[in-house]
Chains A and B, each alone.
Chain A
Amino acid sequence: MVGVFAPFFDYEFMTRAALGGVALALAGAPLGVFLVMRRMSLVGDAVGHAVLPGAAAAALLSGGSTLWTTLGAALTGTMVFMTAGPASRALRLPEDAGFAVFYLTALAIGVMIASMGGGVIDLDKLLFGAALAIDNTALALACVAALVTTIGMPLVYRPLLIDTLDPQFLRASGGAKWAGPVAQSVFFGLLALTTVASFHALGALMSIGLTILPAIAARFWAKSVPLMIASAAILGMLGVLAGLLVSFNLAAPVGAAIVSCLVAMVLASSLVGPNQSLLTRALGRASLANRAP
């Protein structure tokens, strides 16, 4: 059994990837649970895609510097996030339609910028990430995201939870008026930081996967929000480690392997998890049928 995990100890790049992945899973767990509860999973995905043009342009100008690529990714990701909602409202489009227009535009521009690089930019790396090639800067960013999220989320947990589950009550309950907007700003700031940090490992197309998928799986394991966050963190870490091992042993693309393992966890959780899974619902129906006269 220990032998299965030997690559994490034998190869430095696997150790580095595991550390980065575990840090991102820890950062993503509370953010993902709140994103899913706020029904913003796809908005998070759109923002993840929107980092591409900034990352591509910065990589082109800086010769592939991780730091500049990160800053470029953060810039366009934030721009799309800040403008898509207001633009949708101004054009009287449904908000998800506005996000679709913006993120597809960002993806297209990003691919064009990357293709102009004449081989300087590795488009595959930008799109799909390179978890096994995480350098010190990217690893440090992942650890910072985990640390800041672990400190920041408890600070705004209470107003963020009420704002997520019953925003009208938060406004009218007589509590601090600033609490809701501040909690939202902190939450979306942490989400932007974690999405950009994940970008190096999973690329623009799948960077939000490590945040969203464990949170979706966690809903089948826990009923309360704190337990959902704990479950999402554990499932995320397991998914990262499993994905890295699959990638190592099968020579599969690492980002795709991690996301595939996380998707497998969602499927398994939806089948056999103790909370509202297909199995527990079937058992509940059978129990009711047996009790019927």
Chain B
Amino acid sequence: MSLILNDLAIGYPNHLVMAGIGGTISTGSAVALIGQNGAGKSTLLRTLAGDQSPVSGSCVWDAPVKRHRSIAWLSQSPSLRPDAPLTVRDLAAMGLWARLGLFGKPCRHDQDRIDQALDMVGLSDLENQQVSTLSGGQLQRALFARLSVQDCGLILLDEPFSAVDTASQTKLLEVIQHWVGEGRTVIAAIHDLDCARQFPLWWELSKFGAILRRSDDKPLSSMSQPLRAVSGVAQSS
């Protein structure tokens, strides 16, 4: 029950970013994806999210709970139009799209889930405010509320704290801890190592490959099948 990577190669038609990524990440893990600019963090997340095809190999998300089989992804530059005529509640409700489809009507349970998501990110008081009037940190929290409503088992975040203040960052970290506590897996690309230390696991991308290790540098014991590095270059533990 985990994210299984099988000899995954990521990149573009004429540009291989990284190859030979393999191993598993257990459900309920909180992983900080770290590495220098250009290391391939965003490319890896896009590939895991299914927004980009792998060059070769495969990645499979095998969720223990049926409703957790979907993958949610928040990119570094969300495509949400800054002048979108939506309230904060409308934006959170957008997370129901995959379940409701073209004509489904949100039920009482769905409304409760939106209420809980807005409450969790601290935006209940602003639920009727237009998203165009939100600050950067508030908008990021609203997007986290939408991720919560999506109810996915694997949540991929690309630099989720890059445009938020300390208070919003603390709130968002609490939300991530809550998700992990619910048995979801969170992988977040983070360039700030102080912030990345809030995550128990680091998945480090470098010229030596993709190496999973504990953020406190203690031996990695919880992983049944630790991720391995680029073929033949390094080992993760």
- Which residues of A does B touch, CB under 8 Å? 37, 155-156, 158-159, 162, 164-176, 179, 219, 222-225, 228
Contact = CB atoms under 8 A, between A and B. Distances in A.
Contacts of A167: 79
Interface of B: 49-51, 70-73, 75, 78-81, 84-87, 90, 94-95, 97-98, 100-103, 130, 146, 150, 152
Contacts of B102: 155-156, 158-159, 179
A170 B97 contact: yes
Contact of A171 (B51, B85, B87): B51
Contacts of B73: 172
B97 A173 contact: yes
B52 to A, nearest CB: 10
Nearest to A168: B79
5 contacts: A166-B78, A172-B49, A172-B51, A173-B95, A224-B90
Contact of B78 (A156, A159, A169, A228): A169
B51 A223 contact: no
Nearest to A155: B102
A37 B85 CA distance: 9
Contacts of A219: 85
Residue of A156, A167, A173, A219 with most partner-chain B CB within 10 A: A173
Residue of A164, A166, A169 with most partner-chain B CB within 10 A: A169
B71 A169 contact: no
A170 B84 CA distance: 15
Given A155-B102, A167-B79, A168-B78, A173 B150 contact: yes
Contacts of B150: 173-174
A162 B152 contact: no
B54 to A, nearest CB: 15
A8 B100 CA distance: 46
Contacts of B70: 174
A97 to B, nearest CB: 23
B97 A165 contact: no
A174 B152 contact: yes
A274 to B, nearest CB: 14
Given A37-B85, A174-B152, A228-B85, A169 B79 contact: yes
B86 A165 contact: yes
